[in-house]
């Protein structure tokens, strides 16, 4: 199949809170790929999902998805990318040049994939280039370049999903261990959580656990603990808990360390939370 012009429509959106609100209000969605740079919460008709950073999600057009935005600061930059693909475009991209029916399988059902740091950097570069290409004057060459980049991106996503399915048992065991660590941390946030304690609890060295945790949660254990404590603190303060009681309940050793961490993470001090 040879194409003389580029079939429409394709769109890449760099996500901020306003984009997510617009998405939620829309009644019609195409086949989509979500690339989450930050943790995001999704609601489908059947379940609630919490995405970690550096995850890729295929969103078929027949699945209604809403983003939960109440915990997202309106000024927070770059939550990720959303790639929307119209049906004629998807048909063309999977049938032209070299037939790639695998691309259609990306949208056969909703799928979630965690990718490592190297692959995420590559995907982010392609998406950024696509986003920049969209801003150029619309010409046949500009559209063909966007078409080529989309082919490249989707074929690479197929490859990443395929690799996940080729080694499911090893990956599932590692994922279960990473999940167990996260659940242990979430249940003991108010307590002292040195890495040596977690290492002893799961019978692995700290370096091994950190590598495993970064693979699936894209964060060191230490940073995950800090972030979870801050999220819990934000919830408590929003519910009316005093700041003095809050930092003690979520495991910080003193107010000054809590204050610095909170302001660095949310870009405003704890006592300003109710203004946001």
Residues 179 and 263 in one domain: yes
For residue 247, tell me if it sits in a domain.
yes
Residues 61 and 150 in one domain: yes
pLDDT for 157: 92
pLDDT for 7: 57
pLDDT for 126: 94
Last residue of a domain, one of 166, 193, 214: 166
Mean of all residue pLDDT scores within the chain: 84
Of the chain, the percentage scoring pLDDT greater than 90 comes to 28
Residues 74 and 138 in one domain: yes
pLDDT per residue as tens digits for the range 219-266: 889 999 999 999 899 989 888 889 999 999 999 999 999 999 999 988
pLDDT per residue as tens digits for the range 127-166: 999 999 998 888 888 888 888 898 889 989 988 888 776 5
pLDDT for 96: 64
Confidence class of residue 25 from pLDDT cuts 50, 70 and 90?
A: confident
pLDDT for 229: 93
Domain containing residue 55: 10-166
Q: Which range among 39-53, 72-86, 89-103 shows the weakest confidence by mean pLDDT?
A: 89-103
CATH number of the domain where residue 35 is located? 2.60.120.280
Q: Is 96 left (phi over 0), alpha (psi -120 to 50) or beta?
A: beta
Q: Which range among 59-68, 112-121, 163-172, 204-213 shows the weakest confidence by mean pLDDT?
A: 163-172
Residues 101 and 36 in one domain: yes
For residue 1, tell me if it sits in a domain.
no
For residue 21, pLDDT beyond 70: yes
Residues 160 and 250 in one domain: no
Residues 160 and 176 in one domain: no
Number of domain units in the chain: 2
List b or e across 176-194, with b for residues whose CB sees 16 or more CB atoms inside 10 angstroms. Answer: ebbeebbeebeeebeeebe
Cβ neighbour number for residue 51 with a 10 Å cutoff: 20
Last residue of a domain, one of 142, 166, 190: 166
For residue 2, tell me if it sits in a domain.
no
Residues 110 and 179 in one domain: no
For residue 91, tell me if it sits in a domain.
yes
Residues 19 and 117 in one domain: yes
For residue 97, pLDDT beyond 60: no
pLDDT for 53: 81
For residue 8, pLDDT beyond 80: no
Is the Cβ–Cβ distance between 8 and 90 less than 8 Å?
Answer: no
For residue 216, tell me if it sits in a domain.
yes
Distance CA 254, CA 213 (A): 27
pLDDT per residue as tens digits for the range 56-67: 999 988 888 889
Residues 89 and 162 in one domain: yes
Instruction: Write the DSSP string, the chain.
Output: ---SSPPS-EEEEEE-HHHHHHHHH-S---EEEEEESS-EEEE-SS-EEEEPSSEEEEE-TTS--EEE-TTS-TT----EEEEEE-HHHHHHHHHSSS--THHHHHTSS-EEEE--HHHHHHHHHHHHHHHHHHTS---HHHHHHHHHHHHHHHHHHHHHHHHHHHSHHHHHHHHHHHHHHHHHHHHTTTS---HHHHHHHHTS-HHHHHHHHHHHHSS-HHHHHHHHHHHHHHHHHHTT--HHHHHHHTT-SSHHHHHHHHHHHHSS-GGGGGG-
Last residue of a domain, one of 109, 135, 166: 166
Overall average pLDDT of the 69-84 stretch: 82
For residue 50, tell me if it sits in a domain.
yes
For residue 3, tell me if it sits in a domain.
no
Residues 259 and 136 in one domain: no
For residue 254, tell me if it sits in a domain.
yes
Residues 150 and 179 in one domain: no
Confidence class of residue 123 from pLDDT cuts 50, 70 and 90?
A: very high
Residues 270 and 194 in one domain: yes
CATH number of the domain where residue 188 is located? 1.10.10.60
């Amino acid at each position: 199949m040879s194409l003389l012009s580029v079939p429409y429509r394709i769109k890449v959106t760099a996500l901020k809170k306003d984009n997510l609100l617009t998405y939620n209000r829309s009644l019609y969605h195409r086949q989509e790929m979500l690339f989450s740079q930050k943790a995001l919460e999704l609601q489908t008709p059947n379940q609630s999902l919490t995405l970690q950073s550096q995850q890729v999600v295929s969103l078929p057009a027949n699945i209604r998805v809403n983003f939960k935005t109440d915990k997202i600061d309106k000024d927070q930059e770059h939550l990720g990318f959303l790639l929307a693909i119209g049906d004629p475009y998807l048909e063309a991209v999977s049938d032209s040049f070299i037939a790639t029916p695998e691309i259609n399988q990306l949208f056969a059902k909703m799928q979630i994939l965690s990718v490592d740091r190297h692959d995420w950097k590559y995907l982010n570069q392609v998406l950024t280039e696509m986003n920049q290409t969209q801003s150029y004057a619309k010409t046949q060459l500009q559209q063909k370049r966007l078409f080529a980049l989309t082919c490249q991106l989707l074929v690479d996503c197929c490859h990443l999903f395929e690799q996940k399915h080729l080694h499911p048992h090893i990956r599932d065991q590692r994922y279960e261990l990473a999940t167990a660590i996260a659940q242990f941390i979430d249940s003991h946030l108010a307590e002292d959580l040195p890495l040596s304690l977690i290492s002893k609890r799961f019978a692995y060295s700290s370096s091994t656990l950190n590598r495993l945790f970064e693979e699936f949660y894209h964060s060191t254990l230490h940073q995950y603990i800090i972030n979870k404590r801050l999220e819990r603190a934000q919830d408590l303060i929003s519910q009316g808990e005093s700041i003095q009681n809050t930092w003690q309940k979520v495991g910080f050793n003193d107010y000054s360390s809590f204050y610095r961490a909170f302001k660095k993470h949310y870009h405003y001090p704890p006592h300003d939370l109710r203004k946001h």
